[in-house]
Structure formats: C-alpha cells, structure tokens
C-alpha cells in the first residue's frame, strides 16, 4: 500500500489528495490509474481471502469478508478456550509475526491446535528464531550460549623460560570456571628440562600461563570453559 504521493508530486501535506484549480495556478491531485489499481487489488485480495468470488452486484462484500474474519477468530478463540488457552493469535496473525523474524515460517502443528497458534507457542517460536549466542571474536575472545549460560574464552600469551606469567585478565568475567588449559603451538627442538606449557585460572576473572622449558620462552594458546554471570 502506498499513498498517492508515490506516483505524483501534486499532493497536499502528508501525501494527501488536495483540491485545486488549474485556472487558480494550483493543480489538483490527479487520480492515477496505478493508485486506483493498487486500492482495488488491496480490497479484492482481502475479500477473496474470506469469500469464494467477487460479485459486481454486491457492494457489501468487504463488510461480509470482515464479518467472516471476525467469526473465524471468535471460533478459534472459543476452541482454544476449551484447552484452557484464552490468549491466542490466529494462524494469519502468527504467520505475520513470524515472518518479521525470519524468512522461513515456523510450523507449530505439533501443538495439536488446528489452524491456530497459541500466543505462548508463537512467542516460544519467536524466541527460538532469535540468536541463542553472542560472541567477541578474535585472537583473544569469548563465546556465550545464551540458552545454557556456557561461556567459552580463549587467547594467546607469552611466558618466559621456566617461569609463570603475571596474571592475565579473561576477556570477560566468569561466574564459575570449569577448566582452563593451554599448550605451545610448536615444541622447542631442545628441551633439557621438560616440554610442558599451559594455563590455569586463579580466579573467575584472571588466569596465568606457565612454561617448564628452561631455555626457551613459549607462546601459549589457552582456553577456558565455564558459566557466565547471571545463569
């Protein structure tokens, strides 16, 4: 649907039709065929959605279609009330709401509610279409699953020979750390002492790296998994 201003500049404020006279120097808004066809198709589409055919001799078809629409909604609401579901969307309303969230419609036939969706079921479906995770990606980053609260973080750091690094801040705080580990990407060719390197958490906000190699510094890639705050 578009206002007449979509097809002509000869309009009043807010795209409305205007009066005018050619002799007075202000032309009236023309009745464009494109606008009339659009209005015709809008009305015909609604009527045909609820009545079997258009009837040139019946100028009450729009009213009848509206009444059928209202009756269908009332029947569905009454039927759903039998299931103890008083707050409901019709199938048409639900499909429209779902179309605003995703290109593909969600079918809720599994709820056994015929040609209607409950408001609760529709809202659940919309929630499922929304992103369930959020992340900050990069060499040092994190990923949160909103559905479960599982928080995964990772990063990379340097630690000197046979030493432990200073405290390193996690990219974002944990509520609880389940495990924290790390490793060197490439083992050193000469290692008189040991070849282990890794990471361990010291709190829900910080970790440290360690390197048992007594000759070489190490680049340690670390990863930590736990629970996000608020879950």
Res 37: pLDDT: 92
Element (H, E) at 222: strand 218-227
pTM of the model: 0.44
Q: Is the pLDDT of residue 181 over 90?
A: yes
Res 36: pLDDT: 92
Res 192: pLDDT: 56
Res 216: pLDDT: 83
- Span of 20-24, 112-116, 198-202 with lowest mean pLDDT: 112-116
**How many residues does this entry show for the chain?**
231
Average pLDDT over residues 127-145: 74
Residue 137: band (very low, low, confident or very high) from pLDDT cuts 50, 70, 90: confident
Q: Which domains does the chain have, with CATH numbers?
A: 56-129 (no CATH), 133-227 (2.60.40.3940)
At residue 125, φ and ψ (nearest 5 deg) are -65, -40
Mark 147-159 as b/e (b = at least 16 C-beta within 10 Å). Answer: eeebbbbbbebeb
């Amino acid at each position: 649907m578009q206002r007449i201003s979509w097809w002509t500049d000869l309009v009043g404020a807010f795209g409305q039709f205007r009066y005018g006279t050619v002799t007075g120097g202000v032309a009236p808004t023309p009745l464009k065929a494109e606008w009339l066809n659009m209005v015709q198709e809008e009305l015909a589409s609604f009527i045909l959605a609820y009545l079997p055919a258009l009837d040139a001799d019946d100028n009450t078809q729009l009213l009848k279609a509206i009444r059928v629409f209202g009756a269908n909604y009332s029947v569905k609401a009454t039927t759903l009330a039998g299931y103890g579901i008083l707050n409901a969307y019709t199938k048409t309303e639900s499909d429209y709401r779902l179309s605003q969230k995703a290109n593909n419609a969600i079918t809720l036939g599994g709820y056994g509610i015929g040609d209607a969706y409950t408001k609760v079921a529709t809202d659940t479906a919309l929630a499922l279409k929304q992103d369930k995770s959020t992340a900050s990606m990069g060499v040092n980053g994190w990923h949160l699953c909103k559905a479960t609260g599982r928080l995964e973080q990772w990063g990379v750091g340097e630690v000197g020979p046979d030493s432990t690094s200073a405290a390193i801040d996690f990219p974002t705080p944990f509520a609880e750390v389940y495990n924290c580990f790390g490793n060197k990407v490439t083992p050193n060719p000469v290692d008189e002492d040991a070849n282990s390197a890794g990471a361990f958490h010291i709190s829900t906000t910080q970790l440290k790296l360690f390197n048992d190699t007594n000759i070489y510094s190490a680049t340690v890639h670390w990863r930590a998994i736990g629970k996000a705050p608020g879950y």
